């Protein structure tokens, strides 16, 4: 957490986390876990593109 990164690297890391959350959501074994990953993915999608309407 102490790495200094530029905006492009930060955006790359956010997108990677979003893609990871999407993968985990699809592989979730129960609805509560899938919902948790869906919420994380939704927040990360809003960070990447605040104007974009997110899909549940």
Within 8 A by CB and 6+ apart from 54, the residues are 42, 45, 46
Per-residue pLDDT tens over the stretch 29-53: 999 999 999 999 999 999 998 887 6
What's residue 1's pLDDT? 63
> Considering the chain, what percentage of its residues have pLDDT values greater than 90?
75
Q: Residue 18: is its pLDDT beyond 80?
A: yes
Annotate the chain with DSSP letters as a single string.
Answer: ------HHHHHHHHHHHHHHHHHHHHH-SSHHHHHHHHHHHHHHHHHH-TTSPPP-
Q: Residue 56: is its pLDDT beyond 60?
A: no
What's residue 6's pLDDT? 92
Two tokens at 43? 């927040």
What's residue 27's pLDDT? 97
State pTM to two decimals: 0.81
4/10 Cα distance (integer angstroms): 9
């Amino acid at each position: 957490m102490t790495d200094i990164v530029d905006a492009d690297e930060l955006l790359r890391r956010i997108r990677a986390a979003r893609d990871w959350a999407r993968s985990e959501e699809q592989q979730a074994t129960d609805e509560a876990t899938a919902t948790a990953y869906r919420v994380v993915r939704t927040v990360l999608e809003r960070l990447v593109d605040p104007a974009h309407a997110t899909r549940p």
